[in-house]
Chain A
């Protein structure tokens, strides 16, 4: 049985390989991919943040199934997730913990990149896309916090959206723009929902793509090798 499955798999793999050249790609990028010696735990943080991001996407999709983005029903739908849906509490707690974890891991990743000096030429674009990813992560945390429409999220968002207010002339306008009105209102919830589940994740996926592409193009940064370019 197992042999037959293996045969089928190989036949399909060959069929795909003939049409895409995927075998060569797997060999170059996965099985025969060389990394510098002396790599330590700090090098795992980028991969770890990608893993947490994947976890957030997965748990987020599960939550999206039961969450209702309206001021009338949002809180009740969260209560349903926490109390009625089997293991809903686990998924939501993972999503909340994962959000914290992602910020922590990204910060540590950034610290290690600064200390190793791997943001330097030729990796500036990798660094800049990473900075963009950090800000998008903070933005997705911020927009997600309002979604339960609880007292905590309402007032936290009131406080946070009030921060630009003291900016001369444009401050109050920025506040109005972010809230979609004078106060936090149903439109604020809807726009934060759209940002949280579609706009920011899509932007993050695109930036993660560029970030990973550049890492593969430039190779892993090795601080022990001076003046290197490309070969990792």
Chain B
């Protein structure tokens, strides 16, 4: 059984930007930083709200109880008990592929 792949053109996300999408039923947030592209499950590990990317602070922020994560998904402030769940992606030429 082949899992359906998702392909996003890399040009859609400028450096410092982010994109929200749904992948396999989960809300996903895709960011573009100096580390390159990375994707996380956008569900806050505290109580399940959706985090958003704050470009000028380079953090993920959850509006429900002010949980904060750095650009690698690690908790830096607030109540979340564990890091954001990372989603594996591959960058191939000009597109980002979810595998």
Contact = CB atoms under 8 A, between A and B. Distances in A.
Interface of A: 155, 158-159, 162-163, 165, 182
B49 interface: yes
A74 to B, nearest CB: 20
A159 B67 CA distance: 13
A143 B75 CA distance: 32
Q: Which range holds the interface residue count of chain B?
A: under 10
B48 to A, nearest CB: 4
Interface in B47-80: 47-49, 63-65
A163 B63 CA distance: 17
The dominant DSSP class at the B interface is loop
Nearest to A160: B47
B17 to A, nearest CB: 23
Enumerate the 10 nearest inter-chain pairs by beta-carbon distance, A residue then B residue, closest first.
Answer: A159-B47, A162-B47, A162-B48, A158-B48, A155-B49, A159-B64, A155-B64, A158-B49, A159-B49, A159-B48
Interface of B: 25, 47-49, 63-65
Contacts of A165: 48
With most chain A CB atoms within 10 A of its CB, the pick from B25, B47, B63, B64 is B47
Given A155-B64, A158-B49, A162-B48, 12 more contacts: A155-B49, A155-B63, A158-B47, A158-B48, A159-B47, A159-B48, A159-B49, A159-B64, A159-B65, A163-B47, A165-B48, A182-B25
A149 to B, nearest CB: 16
Contacts of B63: 155
Nearest to A158: B48
A163 B49 CA distance: 12
Contacts of A162: 47-48
B51 to A, nearest CB: 12
Contacts of B65: 159
